[in-house]
Structure 1
């Protein structure tokens, strides 16, 4: 029997009531990414296009989006969520610091109506958003993203802010409005190198067919109409086309018809094998799929005796074949879970491995930055500031941060500086140790065992400066009590020798102000219990 996706998944979009990327891989490992305006072209300079299953820059160098979703413009707040708590630039800085290189920015067509007024924004924290409409706020997000190197693609998430629609149009927002708004945006951002593409419609489902020939429901025909209209206005953009929900004989979406196969909304690209999307510029097409775990809906494959080893074949069938056959790039535009269930942790481990590392892996944007996604949560916790390091730990090894462009990025930050000097002077102090050792510090260390699974552990470590002067260039050392071996870390540069571990600051968190804290996380393997260390030293001095 065909399996469909739980319609209540739309609850994940919470609504708050008022109270140069990326560094994709260079063809030659270690090639420098230059500042905007440099005479020499940098890896990632656009416009982008496709070559087989790979996105490439204007010079043909492979680029890869490893990004995140930040939603809100598609809701009745008509602005990205969290601005009631934080400054938007601060949030974008955090996205970059966590290692993401791309932002998927959802919107609803309703945001462009004159009656749609952005709300739930703390204008004391965001004074330059005061008085702007939804498009003006979108401009601000995109402008600052470009300044810090993030790339952005836009996602028509729904026609109106009330909820997800199965088709790309409704009676209130007809197909003509869907096309005209996309053309407006294509013209509005023409020549803006930060915006790289258009995700034409989020999660076609239900009545949406593929290759049926019915203009009212055939998503493949609509994608061609919308995509070609965009390219006529702005030939630089990538056209991102999601799958639908069910695919059967003759392109039907009838889940009860013999031979019909169903998966997540937007996740079924089986029809593209025989009915591909035909664009006037074929090398601008990127297919996209969405994947979720049991916190959204418990699909039958989660209970298969071979789980999780059955998953790659399912992904190959639904969407992975397009990239593996070198037909077109595939973007996994949404994937997420609360990760409270072991089965979901196994799912995400397998999915990240399937998507791969380095420049040749699948493009992806994680759902989501926002913590108010009802059935997945987010990378940020409910305070909109603290990072969920357990979730981030699954994704971190697969990110290609802004400014990091080796062909196969390392799993953990390098422990020694590069031997080749940068082509431009660094804008931040070097991370190499100073010639004189830093002063010993007054400190307190909190070790949280966190969540784990069989044979693996995860821990969050917080250092508090209990002294009266700032701590700079910190280095924390401890000895494991058991046989823990660290395999992944974030917000630190870490080395391990036997049971002794040394965690040093990253280039963006090297100073701990008096009374302030800094946190980082680790994951690894252990045969027994994840017993916490009993002694820590910071810059040579003991911590309590």
Structure 2
């Protein structure tokens, strides 16, 4: 989407996220990094972006309170719009440093994006990615050493509908230039076609762009507006990245738009199902006819719009699905019950497992629910089951999943560690199979057999 100044925005792009990719893992990092197709934080914990965009470039005075309000509503991240100075007032080193500190104070992961590239090749005032790289180099001291807390979104929607064929080479060159300049951050790259990639240029060339990053620490961002007005389109696009094990986030989307009505329910549901990040556009301050994209009226968190209520409080929304980044001391990925026996918890046979299979032929998703039918809580768990055929796990969410031959082992994340008495936890996995798919025959929780629902 496009944004305009003087208090008026058209809309912007913001994605986030995160999805699987099992190519070469990024080398050991002190900050965010991609490993086996997942975005991990500095503690090595899986991190799924759940947040919204904030138009700092045009509303600098609103930023400190906006970030506090976004956090209070449950978000774990925010995408912050910056200007390189080519189209709007430059956000200089001191300003960016202050934003980073405000993000940390609010315990948010911030995705910082350079906005002046929006629609390059079609929008007359837009600048190429080379100018965005120059900007990042110019304010490097503000972000260097902050790799634990921020992600750099190279340039917003860097190509319009003209010249988008140059996206692959332009993006690759920009990433290499950033790495040569010493940037060790996770770099997020937006799609062409005003972020919506209707030409599938990013989709079909993402693997090569990822491989060309010397640090293997690139995440791809798709902006979903009118092009993605059906669940089938949303699912197909995101699943193609997942099947290639490439990290993808929905950096920007809305519940309505002038170019068509995006299917926000499908976007949020599919992101949750696949364990991918999303960031909605935008907190407040939209103008130019797209005021309906405001989540808060007049930057007032007490006056959420219908869109604001939907993304924060609705099904698959931020409040229900966001988990604070572990770098803020909110806990780790788990790793056992503390008794040193490696079993992840106390043995129990009072359990029931539901395994819901969504089979698409060569790929599939499984939604797994473990119900504690006993009278005491289970703290720390390990679920084991055998695949009935040649299925292979590609990625997982809400649990850590490993596979040896046909044997699959799932262990808890920090936020799914405890199964209350009479309660349940759920996790999901995405896999591939060359033959017929079916549901596993047996399940064992902490080495004790469970019944199948």
* TM class by smaller structure: 0.5 to 0.7
1:349 aligns with 2:265: yes
The equivalent residue for 1:157 is 115
The equivalent residue for 1:49 is 33
1:331 aligns with 2:249: yes
Deviation sequence 1:133-173 (CA, Å, 0-9, x none)? 644333222211112211112212114xxxx4324997895
CA distance in 1 between partners of 2:203 and 2:182 (Å): 29
The equivalent residue for 1:98 is 73
Closer, same or farther: CA 172–152 of 1 in aligned 2, 3 Å: closer
Closer, same or farther: CA 112–191 of 1 in aligned 2, 3 Å: farther
The equivalent residue for 1:192 is 146
Closer, same or farther: CA 379–319 of 1 in aligned 2, 3 Å: same
Matched-pair contact (CA < 8 Å) for 1:264–1:291: no
CA distance in 2 between partners of 1:347 and 1:174 (Å): 31
CA distance in 1 between partners of 2:133 and 2:305 (Å): 40
The equivalent residue for 2:163 is 208
CA distance in 2 between partners of 1:208 and 1:385 (Å): 40
Higher helix share goes to which structure? 2
Closer, same or farther: CA 169–339 of 1 in aligned 2, 3 Å: closer
1:227 aligns with 2:227: no
Closer, same or farther: CA 280–268 of 1 in aligned 2, 3 Å: closer
1:364 aligns with 2:297: no
- Give the root-mean-square deviation of aligned CA atoms: 4.1
Matched-pair contact (CA < 8 Å) for 1:105–1:154: yes
Closer, same or farther: CA 402–229 of 1 in aligned 2, 3 Å: same
Q: Which of 25, 45, 51 is 1:67 aligned to?
A: 51
Matched-pair contact (CA < 8 Å) for 2:225–2:256: no
- Does the residue aligned with 2:263 lie in a helix, a strand or coil? helix
- CA deviation after TM superposition for structure 1 residue 188, in Å: 3.5
1:58 aligns with 2:16: no
CA distance in 1 between partners of 2:324 and 2:265 (Å): 23
1:85-124 pair list within 5 angstroms: 86=62, 88-110=63-85, 116=89
CA distance in 1 between partners of 2:199 and 2:95 (Å): 27
Q: Which of 99, 102, 124 is 1:141 aligned to?
A: 99
Closer, same or farther: CA 181–112 of 1 in aligned 2, 3 Å: farther
- TM-score by structure 1 length? 0.48
Matched-pair contact (CA < 8 Å) for 1:268–1:289: no
- CA deviation after TM superposition for structure 1 residue 276, in Å: 3.8
Matched-pair contact (CA < 8 Å) for 2:192–2:202: yes
- TM-score by structure 2 length? 0.57
Number of aligned residue pairs: 307
Closer, same or farther: CA 149–276 of 1 in aligned 2, 3 Å: same
Matched-pair contact (CA < 8 Å) for 2:191–2:202: yes
CA distance in 2 between partners of 1:229 and 1:14 (Å): 29
- Does the residue aligned with 1:109 lie in a helix, a strand or coil? coil
CA distance in 2 between partners of 1:96 and 1:355 (Å): 20
Deviation sequence 1:183-213 (CA, Å, 0-9, x none)? 2334431102455322222222222334xxx
- CA deviation after TM superposition for structure 1 residue 238, in Å: 0.9
Matched-pair contact (CA < 8 Å) for 1:224–1:278: no
The equivalent residue for 1:458 is none
CA distance in 2 between partners of 1:386 and 1:231 (Å): 42
Closer, same or farther: CA 191–170 of 1 in aligned 2, 3 Å: farther
The equivalent residue for 2:212 is 279
- CA deviation after TM superposition for structure 1 residue 235, in Å: 4.2
- Does the residue aligned with 2:144 lie in a helix, a strand or coil? coil
